């Protein structure tokens, strides 16, 4: 009688089961779904440990195969528990919070990532870099540490062609170009609507951009007055009789990240434009995607809010503030992104108006691009499966 193999033990870092940023949460929910599917294909159980920052939100990832360990700055100062967890795991998977493996969000976040990566290397456990944005790295020290960690990793997966190029420019030759795992985020399809009624237009307003960035000094280099642009968008869609929904995707109630909250900006706009609908405070990424799936047209500056629309068949115009947007959507042949760091507000508004009128074509383009994205994502799943197949007692 063949021996029953023990469950595969996986440690997730730079994921979150309870982040107020539902984009980071979408990555985690989707990663867990992928791991469960692969373990099932291998006929094995799975035990997933998530080293999770201590957000107050109730976890939206759960189950008998999930263990959550509170993790923060104190645990990095004394990393013995992390090292023990990594050593007891078969794999450590790092998704870099989607786009944090770069210099653009400041040195503190990147240093924390490097510490966690190198502790995984020290533990001797294979490190998997799940599909994420790689770079840009503007500092020589960052490029050196990033290059070395990627060379030591068992799998390096990017989610777009620009990240693949950034890694290859640093000398990384073994790289899987996939797509964003949140393309697989589960959701509930909206109920069938009766014919007639206003067109439902959704807009995600980034609280981070609305407030001028982390410092209020426009460190993302926008070429326009972002609050004025979103006001013009809301004003336009009201003027043509649409039902306008403001859809926050980063929901921070208190604490040092309060400036990133999308809700406050949305509430301010709703008071200025009576009749505007604010989406509820979602309890999970899947709940947010289910709401977005019920809209007829969508725009947003939070990339995962746009991915929720895109992957549920809603025509979408992503409003980019970094190269991750064009990298992700462009890599799968979806070229409707507008660039808030290069284009004028007049040009962006014109593209949004034209896109709304052409939304049937955008949907067709999006559906074809989604099929390509899911196909590319299989490359990551197959690379991960190959590593999991080698795990024995």
The tally of CA atoms less than 13 A away on the side-chain side of residue 83 is: 10
pLDDT at 257: 64
Reported as half-sphere exposure (CB side, CA atoms, 13 A), residue 347 has a value of 12
| Rounded distance between C-alpha atoms, residue 321 and residue 302, angstroms | 9
State residue 354 phi and psi, 5-degree precision: -65, -40
Asked if residues 386 and 188 have their Cβ atoms less than 8 Å apart, the reply is no
Cα–Cα distance between 122 and 137 in angstroms, integer? 23
What is the structure's pLDDT at 192?
Answer: 85
Among the listed residues 53, 92, 100, the one whose alpha carbon sits nearest the alpha carbon of residue 72: 53
> Can you give the pLDDT at residue 323?
84
Residue 213: per-residue pLDDT: 78
Q: Which two tokens stand for residue 312?
A: 């549920």
Instruction: For the chain, state the CA radius of gyration.
Output: 21
Tens-place pLDDT, residues 307-360 = 999 999 999 999 999 888 988 999 999 999 999 999 999 999 999 999 999 999
State both tokens at 116. 């966690």
Q: What are 90-122's pLDDT values in tens digits?
A: 999 999 999 899 987 777 889 889 999 999 999
Q: CA nearest 302: which of 349, 355, 262?
A: 262
Full pLDDT tens readout for the chain, 393 residues: 567 889 999 999 999 999 999 999 999 999 999 999 999 999 999 999 999 987 778 899 999 999 999 887 777 778 899 999 999 999 999 999 998 999 877 778 898 899 999 999 999 999 999 999 999 898 999 999 999 999 999 999 999 999 999 999 999 999 999 999 999 999 999 988 888 889 999 999 999 999 887 777 777 788 889 999 999 999 999 999 999 999 999 998 765 566 688 999 999 999 999 999 999 999 999 999 999 999 999 999 999 999 999 999 999 999 999 888 988 999 999 999 999 999 999 999 999 999 999 999 999 999 999 999 999 999 999 999 999 999 987
Residue 57's pLDDT is 85
How much is the pLDDT for 216?
73
pLDDT on residue 217: 73
Structure tokens at 92: 């450590």
* Residue 76 pLDDT: 76
- Exposed, middle or buried by CB within 10 Å (0-12, 13-18, 19+), for 212? middle
Structural domains in the chain? 8-184+374-389 (3.40.50.11930), 200-372 (3.40.50.2000)
In which residue are the tokens 């007692």 written?
393
């Amino acid at each position: 009688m063949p021996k029953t193999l023990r469950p595969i033990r996986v440690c997730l870092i730079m994921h979150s089961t309870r982040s107020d940023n539902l984009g980071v949460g979408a990555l985690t929910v989707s990663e867990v779904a992928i791991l469960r599917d692969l373990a099932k294909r291998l006929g094995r159980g799975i035990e997933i440990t998530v080293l999770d920052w201590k957000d107050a939100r109730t976890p939206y990832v759960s189950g008998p195969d999930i263990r959550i360990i509170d993790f923060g700055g104190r645990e990095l100062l004394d990393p013995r528990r992390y090292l023990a967890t990594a050593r007891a795991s078969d794999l450590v998977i790092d998704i870099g919070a989607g786009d944090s493996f770069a210099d653009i969000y400041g040195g503190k976040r990147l240093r924390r990532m490097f510490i966690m990566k190198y502790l995984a290397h020290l533990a001797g456990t294979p490190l998997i870099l799940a599909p994420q944005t790689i770079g840009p790295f503007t500092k020589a020290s960052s490029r050196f540490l990033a290059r070395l960690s990627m060379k030591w990793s068992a799998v390096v997966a990017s989610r777009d062609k620009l990240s693949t190029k950034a890694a290859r420019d640093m000398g990384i030759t073994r790289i899987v170009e996939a797509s964003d795992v949140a393309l697989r985020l589960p959701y509930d399809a909206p109920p069938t609507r009766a014919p007639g009624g206003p067109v439902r237009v959704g807009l995600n307003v980034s609280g981070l951009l609305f407030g001028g960035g982390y410092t209020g000094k426009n460190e993302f280099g926008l070429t326009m007055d972002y609050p004025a642009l979103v006001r013009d968008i809301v004003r336009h869609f009201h003027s043509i009789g649409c039902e306008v929904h403001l859809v926050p995707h980063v929901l921070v109630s208190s604490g040092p990240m309060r400036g990133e909250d999308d809700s406050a900006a949305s509430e301010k706009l709703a008071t200025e434009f009576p009749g505007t609908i604010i989406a509820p405070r979602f309890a999970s990424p899947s709940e947010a995607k289910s709401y977005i799936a019920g809209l007829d047209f969508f725009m947003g500056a939070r990339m995962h809010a746009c991915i929720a629309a895109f992957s549920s068949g809603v025509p979408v115009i992503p409003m980019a503030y970094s190269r991750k947007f064009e990298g992700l959507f462009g890599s799968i042949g979806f070229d409707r992104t507008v660039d808030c760091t290069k284009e004028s507000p007049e040009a962006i508004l014109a593209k949004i108006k034209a896109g709304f009128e052409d939304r049937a074509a955008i949907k067709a383009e999006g559906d074809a691009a989604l099929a390509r994205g899911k196909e590319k994502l299989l490359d990551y799943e197959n690379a991960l499966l190959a590593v999991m197949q080698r795990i024995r007692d």
